[in-house]
Amino acid sequence: MDAEALHGDAIFIDAVAPLLHKKQYVGSYVLGGVTCVAPTVGVGSESPSTALKTIGNWLRYIRTNPGVRLVEKARHVEDAKRDGKMGILFHFQGTGPFETDLDLVDAFHAAGVRMVQLTYNRKDYVGDGCEEELDGGLSRFGKDLVRRLNENRIIVDCSHTGYKTTMDALSLTTRPAVFSHSNSAVLFPSKRNIRDDQAKAAAATGGLVAVTAVPQFVVSANGGAARPSIDDLIAHIDHFVSVVGIDQVGLGLDYWWGTLPFSDLGTVVEHWEHHVEAGDWSPQAYPRPPHYNPPEIETPELLKGMTVGLIRRGYSEEDIRKILGLNWLRVFHEVWGE
């Protein structure tokens, strides 16, 4: 199997990309052969105005850069592939931008948001994050929010969210829901990873589980730097395929600047300390840096390494195409329509 030809021809969807907060990395994803990528345009408890400014900045960027296009329908991904462009999908990691006003769901849908993560590690108005000691499940507001997301055909994303809160959401949603960037707690028991019954519950909605390359969710840091290989990452793919099947596993690699090989370690540590002090990250789930992406896919330019790794692992061409993007495309069709 020719890895370069397959990678170039496949639809490749990376459903989580906070690295694109720095737009100089857009070209890295283009060079890596990505068809559609999802920058984080709202995170945690950010205000509506902050998220709106981020979206406005992206809309201007898209309007002035002909090599990218906004993705609001599934066919927009297919169009981007046909036209040699890269699709941009707006993703919230947390529901802070909605505050407690459900009409803001409609407003942000109109602005292009198409996937929303319920919590970011901590408790919010919706429910409990995965880092909370107690998990009371979806709040009444959270249940109303899931219903409103369904009405607006916005994908419900359960990554970073507490066990009971995810299970409540997955039993309530009437459209396919996902874990956009979560690995297997069976292989590595981080609070940020998910159990098999969570993966099965997402699959039962028609959704999927997408694995993340964030090093500290792939392998243990063992008191030092986390340095997974592509095979360590693909082991999480293998596991989810065995649990939910080949049609319900995808990629949400979650590149961020702190794991790039040329990042200044002192700046990365300062950033880590800020988030630990703020309560966004615990040292248990987010060990002190440094952490390094798998060298085969160290930066987005090298994403052909994912295709190479899947071939080496013995996946068929059809199954590789599903993992790289077709499974996400199916979810897009089912939630967003054509």
Apex 286 CA angle, 280 and 288, nearest 5: 115
Please check whether residue 214 is in contact with residue 226, taking contact to mean a CB–CB distance below 8 angstroms.
no
What is the rounded distance in angstroms from the CA atom of residue 243 to the CA atom of residue 192? 18
Question: In the chain, count of helices (H) and strands (E)?
Answer: 13, 11
User: In this predicted model, what pLDDT tens digit does every residue of 151-191 receive, in sequence order?
Assistant: 999 999 999 999 999 999 999 999 999 999 999 999 999 99
User: In this predicted model, what pLDDT tens digit does every residue of 105-137 receive, in sequence order?
Assistant: 999 999 999 999 999 999 999 999 999 999 999
What is the rounded distance in angstroms from the CA atom of residue 202 to the CA atom of residue 70? 26
Q: What is the pTM of this model?
A: 0.97
pLDDT in tens, the chain (338 residues): 899 999 999 999 999 999 999 999 999 999 999 999 999 999 998 999 999 999 999 999 999 999 999 999 999 999 999 999 999 999 999 999 999 999 999 999 999 999 999 999 999 999 999 999 999 999 999 999 999 999 999 999 999 999 999 999 999 999 999 999 999 999 999 999 999 999 999 999 999 999 999 999 999 766 567 789 999 999 999 999 999 999 999 999 999 998 888 889 999 999 999 999 988 899 989 999 999 999 999 999 999 999 999 999 999 999 999 999 999 999 999 999 98
Which amino acid, one-letter code, is at 46? E
Apex 195 CA angle, 236 and 250, nearest 5: 40
Supply the pLDDT for residue 210: 98
Q: Which domains does the chain have, with CATH numbers?
A: 3-336 (3.20.20.140)
**Residues found in the chain:** 338
In sequence order, what E strands does 126-202 have?
Answer: 155-157, 177-179
Supply the pLDDT for residue 224: 60
Supply the pLDDT for residue 53: 98
- Is residue 293 packed enough to be buried (19+ CB in 10 Å), middle (13-18) or exposed (0-12)? buried
Supply the pLDDT for residue 236: 98
Supply the pLDDT for residue 260: 87
What is the rounded distance in angstroms from the CA atom of residue 320 to the CA atom of residue 20? 25
What is the rounded distance in angstroms from the CA atom of residue 168 to the CA atom of residue 197? 12
Mean pLDDT of the chain: 96
Sheet holding 113-117, edge to edge: 40-43, 90-93, 113-117, 155-157, 177-179, 208-211, 249-251
Of 100, 96, 131, the closest CA to residue 117 belongs to: 96
